[in-house]
Amino acid sequence: RLQKDIEADPSKQFENLLGQPKGLLPVGGVPLLDHWLRAFRASGGLVGPVIIVTNEFFHRQFTEWAVSRGLGRNAVVNDGTTSNDTRLGACADLQLALTERADVIGDRDVLVVAGDTLFFQDFSLRAFLDALPSERSGVVTYEIGDPQETKKRGIIEKDATGRATRLLEKPDPSETTSRSACPAFYAYRHSCKELITKFIAEKASEPLEAIDAPGRLLAWLIERTPVHAMPVSGRFDIGNLKQYRDTLAFYQQTLDADLDSLKGEGVVVARAYARAALVGNPSDGFGGKTLSLLVRNFHAEVKVRPTDHLVFVPHPEYDRDTEFANMGELLLSTELNGYYGGLRLLRATAKRFASLCERAHIPLEKNFTMSYDTNIPRMVGLSGSSAIITAAFRALLQFYGKPEEGGASGLLRRLGVHDYEMPQHVLDVEAHELGIVAGLQDR
């Protein structure tokens, strides 16, 4: 789909990427695989050696990449196929790598990552590997908001301990209550190698589809060995040209030249956490009292940095509002994200902040670029939109608050706003600026 979009794009901006494998597409100024290689090398020796499996068509490109990154040409395994019709399938390619490079793999566990997979920036490979129970293989999951998305994903069901109990490949939403999508990222224990060989042997006489999607192997393994499912906030989907453009824009605005989160003079990062109601919900919307608590597992994060113009950066997952598969997807996406996704929250917060400053005769003498990310599950009562607004307010106060005048607290005083009044201003952004029905406890 991406290659066809590039061919049809009248701007010809990405014409140089025709014939380029997804794993080598530039993201953040470097090939996508560079992001993974950086994570592997930052794992403290937990990951290595690196092996890439490809076909004859892309073999030269991946070999050049591997040699230039110090991996050597032997890091690339060529399955010898030259077309989609003659492909071996992802599972057979995995088995090929385990066989061809058995001497360097030895008795190590195996981490399998699809070449077009990229997680949100809060993902830590080291943290994932450290937290993985020693007796279990591991996968990651992220929550999808649109129920119809289950038809495009592998969906994991798990028990209270996090053990995966079943994987359904692209199920109808009526077939499962789970909305936990499982991308192609698997940490298989050494003991799984024999099971993988057995799976390939069992499926040898079946159509290619039986061993093509790696999720089919995972579903088979879940029934035979313990697999632990760990949540992540989400992944970048680079299925078409628009999604690729959105991902490029997000990385351009949020990473520096070293692929680190932008930091330095003038850059501000603020967080706000999810909220869960215990007692009284929803009486706070009618003058009543409630008891709530913060959930530190989930947060929204807003980043503000100085720039020449005022820019709000679309999130590649939550602000995809110009292209849909059909009218049903349009309807569900709008119900989940509103008409502007998270961007409307940032813009409305900035507008409310600017109004407060104007009323207090405080000049705003510099511009900024504002971006956001969140791992708070949507539509489950954890105040995800309120957290984005709260984080944005905090970021703006820190960004415009001058150290010599007391920083953010000093700016609040100059605005004539007390700390205890801030929840009301956050509520006003939702209720008055955007028409969202909400109560004070969300803040």
Q: Which residues are catalytic?
A: 442
CA distances to 21, 102, 114, 178, 305 from 151, rounded to whole Å, are 25, 36, 20, 12, 39
Environment class of residue 173 by beta-carbon count within 10 Å: exposed (0-12), middle (13-18) or buried (19+)?
A: middle
Asked whether the beta carbons of 152 and 170 are under 8 A apart, the reply is yes
Strands (E), 375-428: none
Nearest partner of 111 among 123, 122, 126, judged by Cα: 126
How far apart (Å, rounded) are the C-alpha atoms in residues 26 and 32?
Answer: 6
Q: What is the DSSP letter of 115?
A: T
The Cα 293–Cα 279 span in angstroms is: 10
CA nearest to 238, candidates 24, 54, 29, 12: 24
Residue 367 pairs with which residues in a beta bridge?
307
Q: State the Cα–Cα distance between residues 359 and 192, nearest whole angstrom.
A: 65
Q: DSSP letter string over 228-286?
A: EEEE-S-EE--SSHHHHHHHHHHHHHHB-TTSSBP-STT-EEEEEEEEEEEESTTGGGG
The rounded distance, in Å, linking the Cα atoms of 133 and 306 is: 43
DSSP states of 349-382 as a string?
A: HHHHHHHHHHHTT-----EEEEEEEE-PPTTSSS
323-332 as b/e: b if 16+ CB within 10 A:
eeeeeeeeeb
Instruction: Provide the H-helix boundaries in 75-208.
Output: 90-100, 102-105, 125-131, 192-202
- Give CA separation, 16 vs 30, 159, 248, 252, in Å: 15, 47, 16, 19
Give the C-alpha distances (Å, rounded to integers) separating 248 from 28, 137, 245, 301. Answer: 6, 32, 5, 19
Q: Give me the DSSP letters along 28-48.
A: TTEEHHHHHHHHHHTSSSSS-
